[in-house]
Amino acid sequence: ILATGDLASQPIRDAVYGARDFFEWLGHPYYPMGGNHDFVVEESRTWFAEAHGAHLPDGKPYYSFDHENLRFVVIDANWIWSDGRQMPYSQAGTQVIQEDDKERAKWVVPESQLDWLDSELLKQRDRATIVVCHYPAIEVPSRLVRLGMKNAGSLANGTDVISVMRKHPQVRAYISGHLHMNVIEVVDGVTHVVTASLPEYPCEYREFQVHEDRMAVVAR
């Protein structure tokens, strides 16, 4: 299970551990990542590392792993504060902003982590690889924009992430969540897949089947 962030809705320790207990109860291997609802307060990342530590190599929210001959690279983003600083938790009041005015909340993959992503992709250039993050690297395609739609936003430096992936032809897909909508878009040979959420319409998860020559994606 790729748990693509927002595992807990409330920024409290009990919610983080409750989400962990739920995934453990499912009884399947799972790979967690944090989202804007997981990393709200200063203690959030400590709670996340403690709760999901057994699934986080080196206790970090960005990591790589192998599964059935596929390579996965999970990246993590920081918040951008109003003064331009990149911080691991939200600025005071942003909890309200991200609900009422989503376009004012912004996130970025740190430069050091872009370098790490590049080095991870260099390690196994002959192995099909999928990059995963809570936040999409692309904007919502214009064909999907509709009147009254709440656009939760994408990575502020999504083009930089795409530039790194472009250097490595073994990257087949970029999987994310965050938008609570369905998006499948091919950019520079990489298939970007955004999945809607479980608790909000259209209430779904996706099942992936990866073959030598194709990838099948089914909404459940």
Q: What is the pLDDT of residues 196-208, one digit of tens each?
A: 999 888 899 999 9
Please report the pLDDT score of residue 150 as a whole number. Answer: 81
Q: Give the mean model confidence (pLDDT) for residues 128-133.
A: 97
Beta carbons of 40 and 96 less than 8 angstroms apart: no
Instruction: Please state the rounded mean pLDDT for residues 139-165.
Output: 93
Q: Please tell me the least confidently modeled range out of 32-36, 146-150, 154-158, 183-187.
A: 146-150
Q: Which one, of 63, 57, 92, lies nearest residue 76 by Cα?
A: 63
Residue 159 reports pLDDT greater than 60: yes
Mean pLDDT of 52-58: 94
One-letter identity of residue 129: T
Reported pTM: 0.94
Residues composing the chain: 220
- Stretch 20-30: mean pLDDT: 96
Q: Name every residue whose Cβ is closer than 8 Å to that of residue 32 and which is 6 or more positions away in sequence.
A: 3, 7, 23, 48, 52, 55, 56
CB neighbourhood size of 191 (10 A): 16
DSSP string for residues in 44-113: HHHHHHHHHGGGSGGG-S-EEEEETTEEEEE---EEEPTTS-EESSPPTTHHHHHHH-GGG--EE--HHH
What percentage of residues in the chain have a pLDDT greater than 70?
95
pLDDT band at 9 (very low <50, low <70, confident <90, very high): confident
Give me the chain's average pLDDT, please.
92
pLDDT at 200: 86
Please check the confidence at residue 22 and state whether its pLDDT lies above 70: yes
For residue 171, give the H/E element and its range.
strand 171-176
Looking at the predicted structure, is the pLDDT value of residue 99 above 60?
A: no
Q: Name the band, by pLDDT with cuts 50, 70 and 90, for residue 45.
A: very high
Q: What is the pLDDT of residue 104?
A: 64
- In angstroms, what CA-CA distances link 112 with 6, 78, 116, 185? 24, 12, 6, 27
Confidence of residue 98 (pLDDT cuts 50, 70, 90): low
In this prediction, residue 103 carries a pLDDT of 55
Of residues 100, 120, 84, 94, the one with CA closest to residue 36 = 94
Tell me 160's DSSP state: H
pLDDT band at residue 65 using 50, 70 and 90 as cut-offs: very high
